[in-house]
Amino acid sequence: MEKIAFFGLGNMGGPMAANLAKAGYTVAAFDLNSDALVQAQQDGCIPCESAQQAIEGVDTVISMLPSGKAVKGLYLGGEGLLQQLPAETLVIDCSTISAEDACLLSEAAVACGLRAIDAPVSGGTAAAQAGTLCFMCGGDAAAFDAAQALLQVMGGKTFHAGAAGAGQVAKICNNLLLAIHMTGTAEALQLGVDKGLDAKILTEIMRESSGNNWSLANYNPYPGTMENVPSATGYSGGFSVALMLKDLGLAMDAASTSASSTPMGALAKNLYQLHGTSEQNQQLDFSSIQNMFRRPAGS
């Protein structure tokens, strides 16, 4: 069975690597955080002490890192992994980064005789655990086809959006919309509660009405409306405010290079920026934007 090197075992990468190991692949795992490596071992992966150790004898490299800086740090430059991988190795970067950085990585990989796709995901940590992520990919069609078997283990839906970087463009469009409907959902739920409605009943009503959307139905931001979502656990885990702010920054940068109008996204970014002023809020799940709308007790 194919051997995979997996980099970045956080909220998303941890369960993705675990699913590959469960499916029978040999997964050599590396993360800068030693706790993540302990968990990876419990999940059936082989914990590695260095990136170099992880890539020994691999056919495919998968990364799920927090930023473009981390991705470029891992792969590019004189000490970068691309230079050390055997020809034809398939590189699948699932991190959300700019389309420009994804193109840079793709070009460098091709120059080293490797195959590469950008394959950012949607679905959140629950989908990462369940193996039902949606992959939006950019790059050569043959490399996309070669990645299919692995992507199918980690998620049921895979799309080829176009050339290198196209997966990242699709991803930031999606997350721009996600930020808009999450903030809108939080605003509407709070209005209902302030007017005396029960958030759970209001949710049921809007789920059957024209206000229905993913944030309301699958990731409800109002505590007490739903189980197994971050709002049920004090907004811990999930997709951090810091990562949402990164994605909204990427979306705004992308919009400026195509002179696209994105006022709704700009407003959502502004709200997340205000919410994320405290370091503590930055680490909360992005549905904690609900707290921006909640009245202080007694007011």
Chain positions contacting ligand NAD, by CB under 6 A:
7-13, 30-33, 36, 64-66, 70, 73-74, 95-96, 121, 124-125, 238-239, 243
If the CB atoms of residues 134 and 143 are measured against ligand NAD, the closer one turns out to be 134
If the CB atoms of residues 10 and 276 are measured against ligand NAD, the closer one turns out to be 10
171 assigned to active site? yes
Burial class (CB in 10 A: 0-12, 13-18, 19+), 30: buried
If the CB atoms of residues 38 and 142 are measured against ligand NAD, the closer one turns out to be 38
Q: How far is the CB of 156 from ligand NAD (least distance, A)?
A: 15
Length of the chain: 299
Q: How far is the CB of 39 from ligand NAD (least distance, A)?
A: 10
Q: Name which of 233, 103, 230 is nearest 168 in CA terms.
A: 103
If the CB atoms of residues 50 and 258 are measured against ligand NAD, the closer one turns out to be 50
Q: How far is the CB of 176 from ligand NAD (least distance, A)?
A: 13
- Which is catalytic among the residues 72, 157, 171, 195? 171
Contact between 90 and 114 (Cβ < 8 Å)? yes
Q: Name which of 135, 180, 150, 211 is nearest 286 in CA terms.
A: 180
Q: How far is the CB of 50 from ligand NAD (least distance, A)?
A: 10
Q: Alpha-carbon Rg of the chain, whole angstroms?
A: 20
The Cα–Cα gap between 44 and 19 comes to 9
Burial class (CB in 10 A: 0-12, 13-18, 19+), 298: exposed
The Cα–Cα gap between 91 and 73 comes to 15
Residues serving a catalytic function are 171
